[in-house]
A and B are shown apart, each in its own frame.
Chain A
Amino acid sequence: MANGWSIIIGLVVVLLACGAAWFFSPKGETQTIWRSSLILSFASCYIMWAITFLAQWHPLIVPRRNDLRAGAIHES
């Protein structure tokens, strides 16, 4: 499901959303505000998500804990 390609797919989706924001922003005085805010929001959110995804793509350390009960181990 979610592997390395997700970054590219996410980028495409966000670019499409940005395009849509550009063309479908309500006309009139506030058009610039709509366009700028929507596109910047999409971009910021994508960057945040992509960074988080990349950081977990090839992790160098693994989760470790010593307070698990026997039952909890196979639940997850």
Chain B
Amino acid sequence: MVHHQDTMFRSADMSMVQLYIANEIGREIVNALGELGQIQFRDLNSDVTAFQRTFTQEIRRLDNVERQLRYFHTQMEKAGIPLRKIDLDVDTLAAPSASEIDELADRSQALEQRVASLNDSYETLKKREVELTEWRCVLREAGGFFDRAHGNVEEIRLSNDNDDAPLLQDVEQHGHGQNGDAERSFSVMNIGFVAGVIPRERVAAFERILWRTLRGNLYMNQSEIPEPLVDPTNNEEVSKNVFVIFAHGKEIIAKIRKISESLGADLYSVDENSDLRRDQIHEVNTRLGDLGNVLRNTKTTLDAELTQIAQSLAAWMVIIKKEKAVYQTLNLFSYDHARKTLIAEAWCPTNSLPVIKSTLHDVNNRAGLSVPSIINEIRTNKTPPTYQKTNKFTEGFQTIINAYGTAKYQEVNPGLPTIVTFPFLFAVMFGDLGHGFLMVCAAAAMIYWEKKLKKVRDELFSMAFYGRYIMLMMGIFSMYTGLIYNDVFSKSLSIFPSAWEWTPESDWKEGATVNATLTSSYRYPVGLDWMWHDTENDLLFSNSYKMKLSILMGWCHMTYSLCLSYINARHFKTPIDIWGVFVPGMIFFQAIFGYLVFTIVYKWSIDWNAIKEPAPGLLNMLIYMFLSPGKVEERLYAGQGPIQVFLVLIAIVQVPILLFLKPFYLRWEHNRARAKGYRGIGETSRVSALDGDDDDSNTLDGRQSLASDSEGVAMITQDIGDEEHEEFEFSEVMIHQVIHTIEFCLNCVSHTASYLRLWALSLAHQQLSVVLWTMTLANGFSATGPIGVVLVVVTFAGWFFLTIAVLVVMEGTSAMLHSLRLHWVEAMSKHFMGDGIPFEPFSFRQMLEEDESAAQIT
């Protein structure tokens, strides 16, 4: 069978294939096919849950490795170590062997343990360091308290005895003067104390609770630690206060300890004696120094370890992801225990079959296996998936279509004409040479620096970047339509001499109205005559012109789209769709709107002034064509009345044809088939396909020799039961056709009117750019002298910014959405069936592109 080349006109030819792969090389083969990315495997174990499948163990193990790799990644982010990213387009990683995967798994296991233990010890050490720092603070601050408190022993006693005395006397006031009796120890007086640190935000609550529970029987001193301390568990900075509380009696002290600990304070032992305290401080400082050294060592070891991992982490990540995908795919296969072969079923583009075959052959040879891998094309009546092959230019346009729906297998792909019609209809609305030029520049820049910009991961930008070729086309066509509209940033070009000449009356003076007259039979050759620019009645003229332009463009676009339905009917060999749907639809549409288009062009081509007849209004003509057929108020051409009656009649006749021809033909065909004794497949109790009696040949393609291989046959035939076979139901067909007819006839009117948006948006765009000019640059140019110079610069900046932001970006987006609608609704409703299944090949490249976590490493 000779296959023609796949084009963008239709989705690619697909084949269902069956693969027999020796169990030993299953992994390698799937790996190679994943790199190829041209084959979509079917699930042959759909009745088996995910946990019961063959390779669940392997997948679980790889999940664990993936988790370890992610752990390294988070550790790196924590430590601020950059990951060496890989470029999937450049670095092609050779398929790893199974032992390499094992090695990688072991290695990452060992590394995880090492990193985790390093991390643990680092955290413990860090905690110890914080504790020591706090202790040092307590020692230092508490020293001051003690010195002061020694002088105030009497007062403390007094305050403890006297409930009315204020708790915290102003310490400063009584400060240092009374150091004389400092030698008297607290213990002598039975005063105990508690020292520690507490987070600053809890101090107020702490004080209040202590005061209430102890009824004021305490003396508290506190001071702020100037630098914040870092909590090692979550790396947050906490500012803390040192406090020392003096109180009377053991029970009270114990109570204070309990309260402090419950409020999250850390208590430290402080000696009363200042000499001992000095020793303590000294000791703490030494320990801190030692600890610092150990900490630094641990940190460098950890960082070195992570830096080394960072070199190859990205590659490992990719390898593991691929390996996981391979096993997930292998889970779709069925395993023949007797022959030790894996059996797979898959869809692939028919034109890719040779590549797939040679890939299988290569892998087989490399493995040096005597048993060959077999690939068979099998015939099936399943609907193949729709595969539209794209390149980087067509990808964006095809996405526009796919966003609406997946085309039926091998129907005409609207993506092909969309390459031109989408940007062109956009340009009809956006037409301005200047704005189009800006758009071309932006698109060209994105295309020129394509490789670099591909890596940018900003959502808005990547959207514009994805549509860079659409933008390029839109810009080019906008420049063309701008030239036709003769608009450059709302100004006009005077490339050619005008066809008009001002002819003032003899008594004309400045300020009076002047009319222009045509000089000869010469007409402005390209686009609108610039003499119309800025005249009183230029809107009157351009509105009439653009309105008719929209109708004509819409008619062309819809007729073109309607013709595609003819091509579809030809391709699917359903002549009834030609005679029962396409032809009557086309006649109906042309009899009304084709005629309208004819009258528009006809009216333009007649010189009404020369033949001294009034030009008839076309709107009224069309309305009265239906309201009072045959009667013509203003004559457009001779014999107009009868022709219009004929057209109306022929249009009306199409309605019943559209309604009844197709359903009744289908019913007749169905009855004839039944009369001859044919029956639908589902209608009789069918002999099981497993018995091999089924000669329907929707399963086996001359592979009877394999029929003994019961499992293989079972595979192919297992879901014939749920084939999409439709029972003929006349009422259903009839209802469908009634809906189609009503929709089509009404849509002819509403869709034609819908194209008037081309006029509305282009008018709005043009007027907006005029307003922008008069409000900014026109003011800048009106001033003279040095002020004028400054003003021009300032107003130009404003004008340029607003031109980009409002006229190009905002208006461009709106015109794009309108163009999108014209394609999805007005054009595609004429031919698009769109009940296809998208082709989703097993492809590593695609898998990595869609994987979020893979996005971070490439």
Closest to B394 in A: A33
Closest to A40 in B: B420
- Kindly state the separation between the CA atoms of A61 and B510 in the bound complex, as whole angstroms: 22
User: Of residues 525 to 560 in B, which have CB atoms within 8 Å of A's CB atoms?
Assistant: 525-529, 531-532, 534-538, 540-541, 544-545, 548-549, 552-553, 556
Indicate if B606 sits at the interface (CB-CB under 8 A). Answer: yes
**B616 CB → nearest A CB, Å:** 11
| Binary per-residue interface labels of chain B (372-411) against chain A in the complex, 1 for a CB within 8 Å, 0 otherwise | 0000000000000000010101100000000000000000
Contact of B515 among A51, A57, A64, A69 (CB under 8 A): A64
| Given contact pairs A3-B521, A76-B501, A65 touches B514 in the complex (Cβ within 8 A) | yes
Q: Which chain B residues lie closer than 8 Å to A56 at the CB level?
A: 499, 523-524, 528-529
Q: How many A-B residue pairs have CB under 8 A?
A: 153
Determine whether the beta carbon of A65 is less than 8 Å from that of B9.
no
- Kindly state the separation between the CA atoms of A69 and B512 in the bound complex, as whole angstroms: 10
Indicate if B500 sits at the interface (CB-CB under 8 A). Answer: yes
Q: Which chain A residues lie closer than 8 Å to B526 at the CB level?
A: 49
Q: Please, how many residues of chain B have a CB less than 8 angstroms from a CB on the other chain? A: 69
Determine whether the beta carbon of B515 is less than 8 Å from that of A62.
yes
| Given contact pairs A3-B522, A40-B420, A56-B523, A47 touches B556 in the complex (Cβ within 8 A) | yes
**A42 CB → nearest B CB, Å:** 10
Closest to A1 in B: B522
- What interface size band does chain A fall in? 35 or more
Q: Which chain B residues lie closer than 8 Å to A72 at the CB level?
A: 502
**A68 CB → nearest B CB, Å:** 6
User: Of residues 19 to 59 in A, which have CB atoms within 8 Å of B's CB atoms?
Assistant: 29-33, 36-37, 40-41, 44-45, 47-49, 51-59
Determine whether the beta carbon of B419 is less than 8 Å from that of A37.
yes
- Kindly state the separation between the CA atoms of A33 and B8 in the bound complex, as whole angstroms: 7
**A34 CB → nearest B CB, Å:** 10
Determine whether the beta carbon of B416 is less than 8 Å from that of A33.
yes
Determine whether the beta carbon of B525 is less than 8 Å from that of A52.
no
Closest to B517 in A: A62
Contact of A32 among B9, B393, B534 (CB under 8 A): B9
**B514 CB → nearest A CB, Å:** 6
Determine whether the beta carbon of B601 is less than 8 Å from that of A54.
yes
Q: Which chain B residues lie closer than 8 Å to A45 at the CB level?
A: 480
Closest to A51 in B: B549
* 19 residue pairs from A and B, CB less than 8 Å apart: A6-B523, A29-B7, A30-B391, A33-B416, A36-B8, A36-B420, A48-B428, A51-B545, A53-B525, A54-B601, A55-B544, A58-B606, A59-B518, A63-B535, A64-B537, A66-B511, A66-B514, A69-B510, A76-B498
Given contacts A30-B391, A52-B527, A55-B549, 19 further A-B contacts (CB under 8 A): A32-B8, A33-B393, A40-B420, A47-B552, A48-B481, A48-B484, A51-B548, A54-B601, A58-B606, A58-B609, A59-B518, A61-B537, A61-B541, A62-B500, A64-B514, A65-B534, A65-B536, A68-B502, A70-B510
Name the 9 nearest CB pairs between A and B, nearest first.
A2-B525, A40-B420, A32-B7, A54-B604, A63-B516, A66-B513, A55-B545, A58-B607, A63-B535
